[in-house]
């Protein structure tokens, strides 16, 4: 079946512009996560959606970052007024539930380059 | 806050050599532990996981990992590596309970290069 998909796969933008990154989770997965991987670093948690509960936004690095999710489907991560330090691969993952034992399935990522 | 340390950033081995990649985590509570692998050009995928029970867990492709609670470690092992094991390996943990349920904390990754 289809896995997690993300678009675009690559995005180059100029400093100060806004960008939107999209994630389509696996159908039926109620939990959705966004992570960021900067060069030479591990994955860094950004935000977590679980069903209709309020999202856990505690990993968002600044108020320039926001994310939305429509029901239990598509999510968009928006970065406003991009800065060069926002350059990274942004990964989305989904799982059956945000509880203890479920495996997170990762998408291919969006490579964001801010010039 | 939780943190994960992977001791080796780049490991180079010849085929048939044995592999051990170190992973230590920092967290006082009960954790779930994972190793993820990213082959060149592919997505991150789960290699193995530990939730409870036997601290020696076996994963895909002959990998295994041992959870040593007293050492806060979850080292990955494989007795004989193959060229196809060339990839980046990430150790990750999440809290088994509490407000950070679901959120994975990752190490920086270890790039494994296996020469044929």
> pLDDT per residue over A54-87, tens digit each?
888 989 999 999 999 988 889 999 999 999 999 9
Q: Give the residue numbers spanning the domain of B70.
A: 3-115
Best mutation target among A104, A105, A109, A110 (most B Cβ atoms within 10 Å) is A104
Residue indicated by tokens 């270890």: B110
Task: Give residue A40's pLDDT band: very low, low, confident or very high (50, 70, 90).
Answer: confident
C-alpha of A3 from chain center: 15
Closest by CA position to A101, among listed B90, B73, B50, B54: B50
pLDDT at A100 over 60: no
Q: Which two tokens stand for residue B93?
A: 């943990």
Residue of A nearest to B30 (CA): A100
DSSP B32-59: EEEEEEE-TTS-EEEEEEE-SS-SEEE-
Nearest-by-CA chain B residue for A98: B102
Interface of A with B in 22-51 (CB under 8 A): 31, 33, 35, 40-45, 48, 50
**Residue A18 has what pLDDT?**
98
Domain boundaries, chain A: 5-96
Q: By three-state DSSP, how is residue B103 classified?
A: coil
Angle at the Cα of A7 from the Cα atoms of A52 and A25, rounded to 5 degrees: 35
How many structural domains does chain B have?
1
CB contact under 8 A, B45 and A106: yes
- CATH code where residue B106 lies: 2.60.40.10
Taking phi over 0 as left and psi of -120 to 50 as alpha, with beta for the rest, B53 belongs to left
Chain B hits for A104, Cβ within 8 Å: 46, 104
pLDDT given at position A101? 58
Cα angle B82, A110, B2; round to 5: 70
Residue B2 has pLDDT above 80, yes or no: no
Rounded Cα gap, residues B29 and A60, in angstroms: 24
The answer to whether the CB atoms of A106 and B101 lie below 8 A apart is no
CB-CB neighbors (< 8 A) of B108 in chain A: 40-42
Inform me whether the pLDDT recorded for B80 exceeds 90: yes
**Confidence at residue A1, expressed as pLDDT on a 0 to 100 scale:** 55
Name the CATH topology of A5-96: Immunoglobulin-like (2.60.40)
């Amino acid at each position: 079946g289809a896995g997690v998909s993300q678009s675009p796969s690559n995005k180059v933008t100029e400093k100060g512009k806004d960008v939107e990154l999209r994630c389509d989770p696996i159908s039926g997965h109620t939990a959705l996560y966004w992570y960021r991987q900067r060069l030479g670093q591990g994955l860094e948690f950004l935000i977590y959606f679980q069903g209709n509960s309020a999202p856990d936004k505690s990993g968002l690095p600044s108020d320039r970052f926001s994310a939305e999710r429509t029901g239990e489907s598509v999510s968009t991560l928006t970065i406003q007024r991009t800065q060069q330090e926002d350059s990274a691969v942004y990964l989305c993952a989904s799982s059956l539930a945000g509880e203890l034992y479920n495996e997170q399935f990762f998408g291919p990522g969006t490579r964001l380059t801010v010039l | 806050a939780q943190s994960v340390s992977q001791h080796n950033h780049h490991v180079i081995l010849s085929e048939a050599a044995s592999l051990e990649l170190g992973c230590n985590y920092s967290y006082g509570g009960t954790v779930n532990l994972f190793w993820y692998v990213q082959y060149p050009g592919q997505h991150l995928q789960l290699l193995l996981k530990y939730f409870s029970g036997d601290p020696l867990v076996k994963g895909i492709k002959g990998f295994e990992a041992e959870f040593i609670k007293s050492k806060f470690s979850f080292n990955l092992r494989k007795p004989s590596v193959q060229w196809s094991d060339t990839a980046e390996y990430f150790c990750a943990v999440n809290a088994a309970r509490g407000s950070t349920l679901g959120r994975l904390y990752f190490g920086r990754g270890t790039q494994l290069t296996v020469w044929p």
